[in-house]
């Protein structure tokens, strides 16, 4: 059986009266690249801070590599994390910063530092002070801090924030390499869902502090829907026409758009049908099923269920 790296079990967290997490449970298995998805303020960083003990746990239980939070020291040594803005010593250079981290972790080998700098693409900036690094370069330095001790479990909060397109591709390759060559298990959050889709093997959705759903990439690929997104003036009228013409299934996305799932009609047939029935059609887009669309649908269903 695959080892459970993280067992997050009915964890709740309050800040004052505010319920940031509400009985959240999920597990991460060895070898997973687990994408955590949720809106701003959903609770992703709070989860990561609880795992790494930056934030104290009061309700629920967390175990890491089989050790419970109360006695976690070995498990934390096997875990690397980059949570929120990477905290570097600004007046130290890249290499000096990494020497500090190496010392903290009892790493003697100089090549480990050089390899890490090269791995994250900062070779040309090794003698640059942290305060003079660009946002993307600081992200890379934060990543270097997290991976220097060769963790078995890596926690990354928005690691591609501020990276340029080539930087994003490099980080994707790097995570793939860590996961495939060093069997590093990864928990990662990002608002860039196209990217998260490419790297992750499993997805957990969190909404207003509640864990909503978990899917593997294979399940997501089966479930995500492709179809045509219609932009119309009158959603009620358009849905009546679709309904009476048996164009199903479709779903109303908001007050001007309707998503029609793949069916026998193509865009030409569909626009003809709507226009002939007096629906003002402002646009239509063919959509391939995506994580973004899956997420939007899931949140819509969840909000409707909560009403
Ligand atoms: N120390 C704190 N004191 C009070 N409220 C807090 C604290 N830390 C987090 N929160 C609140 O808890 C909620 C969850 O925050 P969290 O940082 O986990 O969200 P997130 O999902 O990581 O969001 P984002 O995508 O914006 O980073 C937010 O409403 C936030 O304001």
Say how many Å lie between the CA of residue 47 and the centre of ligand 1: 10
pLDDT at 286 (0 to 100): 83
pLDDT computed for residue 83 by the predictor:
92
What is the spatial distance between Cα 127 and Cα 125, in angstroms, rounded to a whole number? 5
Residue 288, pLDDT score = 78
Residue 86, pLDDT score: 65
Closest ligand 1 atom number to CA of residue 55: 1
Name all domains of the chain by residue range, CATH numbers in brackets.
4-221 (3.40.50.300), 225-288 (3.30.70.100)
Give the residue from 297, 197, 187 showing the smallest Cα distance to 253. 297
Vertex 181, ends 180 and 186: CA angle to 5°? 55
Pairing label, strands 210-216, 185-189 = unpaired
Give which of 269, 266, 277 is closest to 241, Cα–Cα: 277
> Going by CA atoms, what residue is nearest to atom 2 of ligand 1?
15
| Spatial distance between the Cα atoms of 276 and 239, rounded to a whole number of angstroms | 14
- What's the whole-number mean pLDDT along residues 204-214? 97
66-103 pLDDT, tens per residue?
988 877 888 988 999 999 766 789 999 999 999 999 99
Give residue 307's pLDDT: 62
Q: Is the dihedral of CA 145, 147, 150, 151 positive or negative?
A: positive
Site to substitute for ligand 1 among 43, 83, 187, most atoms within 8 A of C-beta: 43
Ligand 1 mean position, distance from CA 200 (Å): 23
pLDDT of 22 over the 90 cut: yes
Q: Are strands 4-15 and 18-29 parallel, antiparallel or unpaired?
A: antiparallel
Report pLDDT digits (tens) over 142-171.
Answer: 999 999 989 999 999 999 887 888 888 888
pTM score, whole prediction: 0.83
CA-to-CA distance for 123 and 135, rounded, in angstroms? 16
Residue among 45, 81, 209 to mutate when testing ligand 1 (max atoms within 8 A of CB): 45
What are the two backbone dihedrals, phi and then psi, of residue 222, each rounded to the nearest 5 degrees? -75, -35
Residue 40: Cβ-neighbour burial (10 angstroms; 0-12, 13-18, 19+)? exposed
Q: Do 141 and 81 meet the contact criterion of CB atoms below 8 Å apart?
A: no
Q: Which residue has the higher pLDDT, 24 or 306?
A: 24
């Amino acid at each position: 059986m695959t080892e459970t790296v993280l067992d997050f079990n009915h964890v709740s967290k309050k800040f004052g009266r505010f319920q940031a997490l509400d009985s959240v449970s999920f597990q991460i298995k060895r070898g997973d690249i687990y994408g955590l998805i949720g809106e701003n303020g959903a609770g992703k960083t709070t989860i990561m801070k609880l795992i790494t003990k930056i934030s104290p746990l009061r309700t629920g239980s967390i175990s890491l590599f089989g050790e419970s939070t109360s006695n976690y020291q070995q498990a934390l040594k096997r875990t690397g994390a980059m949570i929120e803005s990477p905290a570097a010593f600004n007046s130290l250079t890249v290499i000096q910063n990494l020497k500090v981290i190496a010392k903290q972790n009892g790493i003697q080998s100089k090549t480990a530092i050089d390899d890490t700098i090269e791995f994250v693409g900062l070779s040309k900036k090794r003698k640059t002070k942290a305060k003079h690094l660009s946002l993307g370069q600081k992200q890379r330095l934060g990543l270097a801090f997290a991976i220097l001790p060769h963790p078995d479990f890596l926690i990354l909060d928005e690691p591609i924030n501020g990276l340029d397109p080539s930087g994003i591709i490099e980080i994707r390759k790097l995570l793939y390499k860590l996961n495939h060559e060093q069997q590093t298990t990864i928990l990662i959050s990002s608002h860039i869902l196209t990217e998260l889709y490419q790297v992750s093997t499993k997805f957990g959705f969190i909404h207003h502090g509640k864990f909503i759903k978990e899917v593997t990439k294979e399940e997501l690929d089966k479930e995500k829907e492709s179809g045509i997104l219609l932009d119309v003036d009158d959603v009620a009228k358009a849905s009546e026409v679709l309904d009476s013409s048996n164009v199903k299934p479709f779903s109303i996305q908001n007050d001007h758009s309707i998503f029609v799932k793949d069916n026998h009609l193509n865009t030409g047939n569909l626009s003809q049908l709507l226009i002939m029935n007096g629906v003002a059609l402002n646009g239509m887009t063919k959509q391939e099923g995506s994580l973004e669309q899956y997420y939007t649908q899931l949140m819509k269903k969840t909000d409707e269920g909560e009403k």
